[in-house]
A and B are shown apart, each in its own frame.
Chain A
Amino acid sequence: MAHTDKVSYWELITNGIVKENTIFKLALSLCPSIAVTSGLKNGVLMGAAVLFVQVMVNITISLMRKFIHPKVRLPIFMLVISGWVTVTDMSMAAAVPDVYKQMGLYIQLIVAFASILARAEMFASKNKIAPSMADGIGMGIGFLFALTVISFFRELIGKGSLWGMPIVDAKPLLIMILPAGGFFAVGILMAFFNWIDIKFLKKGVSASH
């Protein structure tokens, strides 16, 4: 993965959004993609929180990478991640208390997200600060994008509204805001993005080795 000299920052960012999209391609961190995406507002805020944590963790780990002994690297990564999650958690509790009431638990759960630890281990601990930041931004935006798309469709179909405002005046498909509908939405969107990948980008086969 230490291939930053040849790869531009732009490619690092798009890699996280398209080729290695956390949810649609790597199928990591699926828990929040179902649990908090019943409304667009929750989905976007969750995505933003993860974007922030991912970037800050990548920068911190990259700064510290020369001082971390390989044998204790995982506990140290976890400490850094929980530190930044605590920062996010407290800021959100102060800034948007009503949303925090609904999804506070999931904000704290960001600590356990596979995607964040994976990027710290695979990328930030082996690369300089600037590329690590680019990678964090790409991964975070990819996650934000996925959560936004999922919650967009789930709220539109399940409640007939967007960001809490009623849009469609028809009987909503109630199942879409229930957990089962979350699985439907993630599955169908995953299939759709993979289909685009194979059909138009022709990278579907090589990206998955």
Chain B
Amino acid sequence: MAEIKKEHQLIVSVSPHIKSEETTSRIMWSVTASLLPATIMGAYFFGPRAIFTVAISIIAAVLSEYIFQKALNRKIAVSDGSAVLTGLLLGMNLPPSVPFYIPIIGSFVAIIITKQLFGGLGFNVFNPALIGRAFLLISFPKLMTIWKEPTAAFVHLDAKTTATPLGILKEEGVAKLMEVFGDKINLYTQLFVGHRAGSIGETSAIALLIGAAFLLYRGYISWHIPASFLGTAAVIAWIFGGLSGKGGALFAGDPIVHLLSGGMLLGAFFMATDYVTCPSVKKGQILFGIGCGFLTMLIRLKGGYPEGVMFAILIINCFSPLIDRGFKTRVFGAIKETKAKEIKK
């Protein structure tokens, strides 16, 4: 038999045939990088203590992952960056002044209980960093709600404690918020830059938006979840936000304050879009985002906590598999069961 030239051979191999250069670890490290501007702003406003908290959180997350995988003789997958990302997100969601053991406990819960016990990366039902934070908020309600007043540089080590804008809004209303920040323009500017009390990484809207723009540009996240999340929240804030307090009216709320304060931007762009815990169908993602926005505003306006992003995302996380089923794409060439029966008749 004549030898067949290499270029004429028909090579049969298993799909996929065209591979993207994107890998899990590349995406994870990119998301981590996109969070750096917000972390740096947090460090700038809250001082060395904030850097310390974030660092401990990351180290504890990586160590938890390493020890668990070592103990169970699983492949050590620390270098894929998912543990670093979880640790970073958890650190960014903590108040700047927490004692050192808080991020350690949070990382342990996030990595081991939420992620590894469910089967590791890709199998967790809930966002690990958010479960870590929810665990801490419920366990240490006082420590987790001590907010430091931002200082403009690294000079003041002992900053005063104060309330977050959402806390003021919840307890004392819009008038007090205006009193604290002066006028409306100043309020928006301060919120936009991040000069306000809050968790380390959530305060600076501009830094978060830069990171989000990078992720959107690279295609790591799509616009569906953030847009529907923020859109729903803005609409609800506009319609019902003005109802609280005396002389409240419909359509009098301030959506911008609600969007820029709390963990709304961090949650919408970086937490709700977690590949593992959000639906993979685009239409489903829009429903997912609407649910997150609705629950967030429900908790903010009517619930006991001033901030609801964390619980909203966690609750909607449960529905992800259901949403995916509901918006299942039609198999090519397949027809619906009822139609098939009709044809048979």
Contacts and interface: CB of A to CB of B under 8 A. Distances in A.
Interface string B104-119: 0100000001000100
Task: For the complex of A and B, list the 6 residue pairs with the smallest distance between their C-beta atoms, beginning with the closest.
Answer: A175-B139, A173-B139, A175-B138, A174-B139, A175-B135, A174-B138
Interface of A is mostly: helix
B304 to A, nearest CB: 14
A191 to B, nearest CB: 8
B60 to A, nearest CB: 16
A173 B105 CA distance: 10
Nearest to A174: B139
Contacts of A174: 138-141
Q: Place the interface of chain B in its size category.
A: under 10
B29 to A, nearest CB: 31
Interface size class of A (residues with CB under 8 A): under 10
Contacts of A10: none
A176 to B, nearest CB: 8
A174 B135 CA distance: 9
Interface of A: 171, 173-176, 178, 180, 184, 191
Best-surrounded residue of B105, B117, B139, B141 (most CB of chain A within 10 A) = B139
A173 B108 CA distance: 13
Contacts of B141: 174
B53 to A, nearest CB: 17
A176 B140 CA distance: 11
Contacts of B140: 171, 174
B138 A184 contact: no
A173 B141 CA distance: 10
A83 B297 CA distance: 51
Contacts of B135: 175
A178 B138 contact: yes
- Residue picked from A171, A180, A191, most chain B C-beta under 10 Å: A171
A18 B26 CA distance: 48
Nearest to A180: B138
Contacts of A173: 105, 139
B64 to A, nearest CB: 15
Nearest to A171: B140
Interface string B126-166: 00000000010011110100000000000000000000000
A173 B113 CA distance: 15
Contacts of B117: 191
A179 to B, nearest CB: 11
A180 B314 CA distance: 14
Nearest to B113: A184
A185 B105 CA distance: 16
Contacts of A171: 140, 143
A180 B134 CA distance: 11
Given A171-B143, A180-B138, 7 more contacts: A173-B105, A173-B139, A174-B139, A175-B135, A175-B138, A175-B139, A191-B117
